[in-house]
Structure 1
Amino acid sequence: MAVDPAFGTALRRLRSDARLSLQQLAELSNVDKSHLSRLENHRRAPGPQIAKTLDDVLGAGGELLRPAQDPHPTPSRASTPTWTVAFDPDGSGRLHVHDDDPAVVRWPRPGIADLHTADLLLNQLATLTEMGRWHGPATVLPSLVSAGRTAQAMIGDMPRMASVAARFAEFAGWMAQELGDDQGARWCTLHAAELAAAAGDDDLTAYTHVRLALISLYQSDAHRTVEHAVLAGADRRAGPRVRWLAALREAQGHALGGDDRGFQRALDRAREWGERTTDHHRTPPLGSGTAADLTLVTEGWGLYDLGRYTEAASTLEAGISRVGGLTNRSAVRFRLRQALACAAADDIDRSCDLVDGLLPAIIRLDSATIRADLAAYARVVRRRSREPSVRAIQPGLVAALHRHHGRAA
């Protein structure tokens, strides 16, 4: 909608006549002060609802409605609203159905936090974590951000909430990476590190380096992968689980860089820490999987990067049987890596059978990291495109590679 200067001029005059400041008018009309300023300075055109609200508040008798009328209304606007949720630093916020309209709902800062509140939020995080293992990241990210922001707003009442908020931020970073947004993943992870450090949560502070290592791993940056993993593993304040996960990530970094000896040393260290890792942990645990299964499949992952394809395929097969059902994100990820190893080892029929069974789950999970491995797989089998097994999966392979955020491109 074009900006008609008559509206802003009339609004400023009527407000001045009513002896109201911008802040006072904002409070009376439930329209943001900054938005009112843009209206008065002809930088934003008002929507019909906001014009009516201001006309009523100022008793303008319809004067503000005439310049706000749109000679070319957009019929789809009312049927396809854009919902915008904004949070203030204290946790208060507002919901706008349209940018040009006043807030539909406003809420104050959250109530006083206590131990029960923290436990309830952690239970919510556990539920979202489980959803994230079975569904695409877009399913859980909005709830993650909202609940994490609520926890952060309560830190002043209860310092433990910094640790709770950090857990939400860390998982939001993982989901951002699954969307293919490495910049967002890194920001959320660094934010989690700040919150965890403020809370004195040594385990989570160290674990953020494990997450940064994973971001680097999928960027094919072996050096940074190892660098972050070593920082996490060298933190003596971190518990056995975090140091086990750090050693696994270090092993993957060495394998990516072609360092077989470094890979084996880190893997041996992972086994040592894995033996000291207990499955009795707070909810939800940092990272995924248990020591027995994840160590084995990570070994298979590294063997593939080192070019030892036959060993990789058999090791992954042994480890995957302990991970769980094929609709789980981790199982799909490692089974696809097994398919890659089989294809590279010229076991093309077994490879295609594996991928054919994974394609529905890959589409539903809508994971950028899994799709990256699927693209690598497509490149490997392209040279065998005339074989019947490859031709049979080609349509599904193309469809899965061209999915984005849960929707067909």
Structure 2
Amino acid sequence: MDSSGIYVGLDIGTTSIKIIIAEYVKKQLNIIGYGNTRSAGLNRGVIVDIDQTVGAIRDAIKQAEQRANFEIRDVVVGIPANLLEIEKCHGMIAVSQADGKSKEITDEDVYEVTQAALVQSLPPERDVIDIIPDEFVVNGLDGIKDPRGMEGVRLEMRAVMYTGPKTILHNIKKCIEKAGLHIRETVVAPLASAHLALNEGEQDFGSIVIDMGGGQTTAAVIHDHKLKYTYVDQEGGDFVTRDISVVLNTSVENAEQLKVTYGYALSSLADKDNKFPVQVVGQQDPEEVSENYLAQIIEARLQQIFTKLATALDKVNALSLPGGIILTGGMTAIPGIEELAEDIFGVHVKKFVPQEMNLRSPAFTQVIGLVDYVTSENEIERVVKSSLGTADFEQATTYDEDDSYEDEPDMVQLPPQPKKPKKKKNKNKRPGGLRSLFSNFFD
């Protein structure tokens, strides 16, 4: 099947909505337009206000269409790994003729055996996001990648099925419908990011991709070119920004600018003598803050995130995979994050940054990966995925912030900033006080 054509990827993130328009010709992906707008109506990766999210999607669409001079009609959308479940499934059908003789297997037979595989007792609150065939079996002969054109009386398919909460899926699809678009395909977001960020060897022998977004951080374990495990921590770059805002008593907007301009993930890399003014709430004159103190605030939160990820990944022995860890996502743009991650995980860590013109930022990995992923699908995979059909848009519900997740992550405790910081010898050790936690600053 020829994959040439125009593809549009849509990444609905907690802090930003990104969309790209790409032309795929002769196995080359050329991005001809993109949009990037501030998100609205999302909380920690989950849509909580459909109308606000629709407005933000429309803004991103408008930007991309103007840059590409192209009208967007359908999109490939990424589905977050929140509460994702990975299950094996199996389907079997008879493909013989009316007289019992074998017949040639067609697309329709593949469609039907996929439907048979999908007929499982899924809980009513879950829906299928994607299905990927592992192998087909014709008359007991296994290991077949594409059974079409073969003759047989019985066809089986073994596949991997990805399911997610119906509420999350329906709300995403409802937003896209209200924005005037049609869904071309849904893709599990970590699969898309991994497909772009990992080379063949890393996907084959096994690697971990950690995508650090604004609202959450997702770790995905890839082995044998398959997504084996995901872990979502409900903390991301926004939590770092809020830490800076609270500790330095400055606005969230100022805190974000400080993080981007002066931030380091590892305090030992930051200069204690390099100081900058911070506009403090309730004070007319700004206060001087050192680069090193800001780095301590950032490092404390990142330590907490990475430590939780390390615990989860160690339970499934993922840290023993030879490919190590690949960091991506907007938060990974901060200097020193690879060194901090290596210190905590104890494995080789590198950062992935897309090389597409105007999009050379780790924040664009997922949206580019969506298009890269679907254009690499072979013909039999597309026939199988066509069996998923169109979701029901009749009703969409929203998560209340209190119901989305049980507890909001604790605020990291930091020592109070002295009004006139004194120089101290750098012992290259993180202060023990940064590791202590106190309960919810933001309840």
TM-score bracket, normalised by the shorter chain, equals under 0.3
Structure number with greater Rg is 1
Q: Flag the structure with higher helix content.
A: 1
